[in-house]
Amino acid sequence: MATIVPAPSSQSVAAALAATGVGTLTTPTYEWFTDDETLLSVPEFDDDAAIVVGSTATNDAHIELLQLQDAVREAGATDITTVIPYLGYARQDQAFKTGQPVSARAMAKAISTGTDRVIVVNPHEPDVTDFFTVPTEAVDAAAALADPLDDLSEPLFVAPDEGATTLATTTRDAYGEGEVDYFEKERDYDTGAVEVTPSDATVEGRDVVLVDDIIATGGTMSGAIDALHDHDVGRVYACCVHPVLAGAARTKLAAAGVEAVIGTDTIERAVSDVSVAPAIADVLR
């Protein structure tokens, strides 16, 4: 049996992972000092194997994950798996302008130094796993997004951009019926403004489930919802694996007329209706 070590950012998902039976939960100590430094410690444990679970949605969360990895090595773990439910900086997977870093690579290298293996849930680009220097697997948890969906009328599963079509298909397959389509998205990288162009699919009277990997500012999803409401659409659901929901994103979606926002617990939010723990456990077993 392995010891599961939760980072502050991932306590619910770590508990859900322990409930699957892949390990035993331990309770670390988290200290935050007035100079902004952190000290995360683990109690003594007997297992050789440790599973450190930590999403890196903030800069502090990156440091906290590195500290826990080091703490479990100090505590005697010889086989460390690092589970990253949400990998921050994954969208900075290349230098988009001269002088920029490849931030995803920098983070992956740092995380790799403290672990023997990495599991990451729905990284923004699958190739990001190549930046890690230890064996790394991506987990697709999009099927779980279908669980809370009501009985839908003539459902249409839509990716707000072409890249998310696989996720929309996975969610549709898990729901069991419906068509899949995608919209075209243009983002102005200077202003961040998003323009979403709907497809030719008939949406009148149909329930539409929008599926994306991340909802961050909510610009993409609210743009897609606006485009749907230009027609006589039925209910519109906004689903994502990673509910970053920065700033006023949740309000933006409500104002656009969303029926419900459905997310997972990769980032612990009020909309985290489903857990990615079973999908992670499948890879760990």
Q: Which is nearer to ligand R5P, 77 or 90 (CB)?
A: 90
Minimum distance from CB of 17 to ligand R5P (Å)? 25
Contacting residues toward ligand R5P, per CB under 6 A: 160-161, 163-164, 194, 212-220
Q: Is 185 noted as a catalytic residue in this protein?
A: yes
Q: Supply 205's token pair.
A: 């009277």
Task: State how far the Cα of 232 lies from the Cα of 205, in Å rounded to an integer.
Answer: 6
Closer by beta carbon to ligand R5P, 54 or else 123:
123
- With tokens 């992670």, the residue in question is 280
Cα distances (angstroms) measured from residue 237 to each of 124, 150, 261: 21, 10, 6
Task: In angstroms, give the least distance from the CB of 199 to ligand R5P.
Answer: 16
**158: buried, middle or exposed (CB in 10 Å: 19+, 13-18, 0-12)?**
buried
What does the alpha-carbon distance between residue 47 and residue 77 come to, in Å, rounded to a whole number? Answer: 7
Quick one: 14 or 90, whose CB is closer to ligand R5P?
A: 90
For residue 187, the surrounding DSSP H or E stretch is strand 184-187
Which residue lies nearer to ligand R5P by CB, 119 or 164?
164
> Which of the following is catalytic: 97, 109, 185, 252?
185
Q: How far is the CB of 135 from ligand R5P (least distance, A)?
A: 26
The least CB distance from residue 188 to ligand R5P, in Å, is: 12
* CA atoms of 226 and 229, how far apart (whole Å): 5
- Tell me which residues are annotated as active site: 185
